[in-house]
C-alpha cells in the first residue's frame, strides 16, 4: 500500500466505533533500498507517545491515559500517523472489561498492521515526566557550508594538527541538536525534532555535523526515514565503531514519534520525553 492511498492530508470523518481497519501500514523496504546493508538499520525501536487515548469502562465512564508504543525497527511496516490517530479515536466510545483488555486489543491490532510484535505502555495523564538532554549541544557551533538538501559529503572528521585521520584515537561522545527539521512527504507540513547521536570512532567535526543536520530542513521524509538516513550517512562516511541515532520529534495531532537506530543493542537508550514534545 502506498501512502497516497492513506487519509494523510485529506478531510476525514472521525470514526465513533472501534475501527482497526483504519490502520494504514507503509512498507519500510523502498526507503531502505540504498542502505539496507548498513549494520543497525534493522535494530532499534520507533517509540510513539499517544496523548489522546480514551475508552469506556464497563460502567460507561471514560478512561484517559497517555500511551507509549514500542514498534521494532525490524518490522516490515511502519504505521502511518493519521491512521493511528483515527484508530485511537475510534475507541473513545468502546467499552473494555479492563485496562489490560484495552492494551491487549491495541497490541494485537498494531502488531497485525506492522507484522511485528508491538507493545503499549499506559501512563496516568500526569505521570510522564520530561527529560533534560544529555551530552554536547551542537547548536552553538557555526557551520561553514550549507546545503538545501541532505548532503553526506558535509560530514568531516575533526582535523588535528600533526595528526592524520588514520592515527586519531577512537572517542566515545554523546551529541545532540534541536535544529532538526524536515517535511512530511505528503502534506509538506514541517516536522521538528531533537536528534541525539552517540558515537564511538574518530572524532567528527562538530561544525560539519551540524551543517549536515541543518541540510534536512527542506527534505521530504517520514520521521523514521530521516533517522535511518542520518544513521546510514554517518555510518558510511565516518565509519564509527559504534553508533546510535535517536530523534525526538515534536507532537502533531496528539502524537509524537521517536525513532532510534543502533549498531549495538547494548546502546539502545530508554525512551524519553523532552520539554517541547
DSSP state of 236: H
pLDDT for residue 92 is more than 90: yes
Q: Pick the range with the lowest mean pLDDT from 10-19, 203-212, 249-258.
A: 10-19
Q: Which residue has the cell 504505521?
A: 79
Percent over 70 (pLDDT), the chain:
92
| Average pLDDT score over the chain | 93
Cβ(83)–Cβ(7) below 8 Å: yes
Is the separation of the CB atoms in 256 and 49 below 8 Å? yes
Q: Is the pLDDT of residue 215 over 80?
A: yes
Mean pLDDT of 153-175: 76
Those residues whose C-beta lies under 8 Å from the C-beta of residue 64, and which sit 6 or more positions away, are 53, 54, 125
Mean pLDDT across 78-87: 96
pLDDT in tens, 118-136: 999 999 999 999 999 999 9
Q: For residue 109, indicate whether it is catalytic.
A: no
pLDDT at 160 over 80: no
Mean pLDDT across 4-25:
77
Sheet of strand 190-201, all strands in order from the earlier edge strand to the far edge? 119-123, 62-72, 44-56, 255-262, 242-249, 190-201, 171-183, 136-137
In this prediction the pTM is 0.92
Q: Phi first, then psi: what are they for 30, rounded to 5°?
A: -60, -45
Q: Angle formed by the axes of helices 206-214 and 223-238, to 10°?
A: 150
Full set of structural domains in the chain with CATH? 3-123 (3.30.1130.10), 136-267 (3.30.1130.10)
Q: What residue ranges in the chain does DSSP mark as E strands?
A: 25-27, 44-56, 62-72, 77-79, 119-123, 136-137, 171-183, 190-201, 242-249, 255-262
Residue 184 annotated as catalytic: yes
Q: Of the residues 37, 109, 126, 184, which is catalytic? A: 184
- Per-residue pLDDT of 140-149, as tens digits, reads 999 989 999 9
Give the pLDDT of residue 164.
47
Whether the predicted pLDDT of 186 surpasses 90: no
Residue among 146, 67, 135 at smallest CA distance from 105: 67
Q: CA dihedral in degrees (231, 262, 221, 24; nearest 10)?
A: 160
Please, what is the Cα angle at 59 between 57 and 61, to 5 degrees?
Answer: 60
One of 46, 191, 233, 256 is an active-site residue; which one? 191
Distance, CA of 34 to CA of 49 (rounded, Å): 29
**Using CA atoms, how far apart are residues 277 and 274, in angstroms rounded to an integer?**
5
What's the rounded Cα separation, in Å, for the pair 114 and 242?
28
CA distance 207 to 211: 6
CB 258 within 8 Å of CB 71 = no
Local confidence band at 163 (pLDDT 50, 70, 90 cut-offs): very low
* pLDDT at residue 89 greater than cutoff 70: yes
- Angle ∠(266,135,47) on CA atoms, nearest 5: 50
Are residues 165 and 238 in contact, defined by beta-carbon separation less than 8 angstroms? no
Q: Could you tell me what percent of the chain has a pLDDT over 90?
A: 88
pLDDT recorded at residue 167: 54
Tell me the HSE value of 186 on the side-chain side, using a 13 A CA sphere: 15
Above 80 in pLDDT, residue 20?
yes
Amino acid at each position: 500500500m502506498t501512502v497516497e492511498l492513506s487519509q494523510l492530508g485529506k478531510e476525514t470523518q472521525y470514526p465513533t466505533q472501534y475501527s482497526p481497519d483504519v490502520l494504514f501500514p507503509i512498507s519500510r523496504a523502498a526507503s531502505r533500498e540504498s542502505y539496507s546493508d548498513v549494520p543497525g538499520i534493522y535494530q532499534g525501536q520507533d517509540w510513539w507517545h499517544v496523548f489522546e487515548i480514551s475508552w469506556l469502562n464497563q460502567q460507561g465512564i471514560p478512561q484517559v491515559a497517555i500511551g507509549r508504543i514500542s514498534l521494532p525497527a525490524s518490522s516490515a511496516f511502519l504505521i502511518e500517523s493519521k491512521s493511528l490517530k483515527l484508530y485511537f479515536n475510534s475507541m473513545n466510545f468502546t467499552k473494555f472489561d479492563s485496562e489490560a483488555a484495552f492494551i491487549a486489543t491495541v497490541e494485537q491490532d498494531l502488531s497485525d498492521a506492522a507484522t511485528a510484535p508491538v507493545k503499549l505502555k499506559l501512563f496516568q495523564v500526569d505521570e510522564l515526566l520530561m527529560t533534560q538532554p544529555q551530552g554536547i549541544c551542537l547548536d552553538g557551533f557555526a557551520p561553514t557550508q550549507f546545503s538545501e538538501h541532505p548532503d553526506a559529503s558535509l560530514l568531516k572528521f575533526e582535523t588535528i594538527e600533526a595528526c592524520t585521520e588514520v592515527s586519531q584515537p577512537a572517542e566515545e561522545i554523546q551529541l545532540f541538536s534541536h535544529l532538526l527539521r524536515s517535511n512530511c512527504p505528503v502534506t509538506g507540513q514541517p516536522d521538528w525534532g531533537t536528534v541525539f547521536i552517540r558515537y564511538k570512532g574518530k572524532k567528527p567535526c562538530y561544525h560539519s555535523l551540524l551543517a549536515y543536520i541543518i541540510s534536512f530542513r527542506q527534505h521530504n521524509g517520514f520521521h523514521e526515514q530521516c533517522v535511518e538516513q542520518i544513521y546510514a550517512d554517518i555510518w558510511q562516511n565516518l565509519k564509527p565503531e559504534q553508533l546510535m541515532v535517536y530523534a525526538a520529534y515534536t507532537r502533531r495531532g496528539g502524537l509524537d514519534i521517536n525513532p532510534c537506530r543502533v549498531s549495538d543493542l547494548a546502546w539502545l537508550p530508554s525512551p524519553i520525553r523532552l520539554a517541547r514534545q
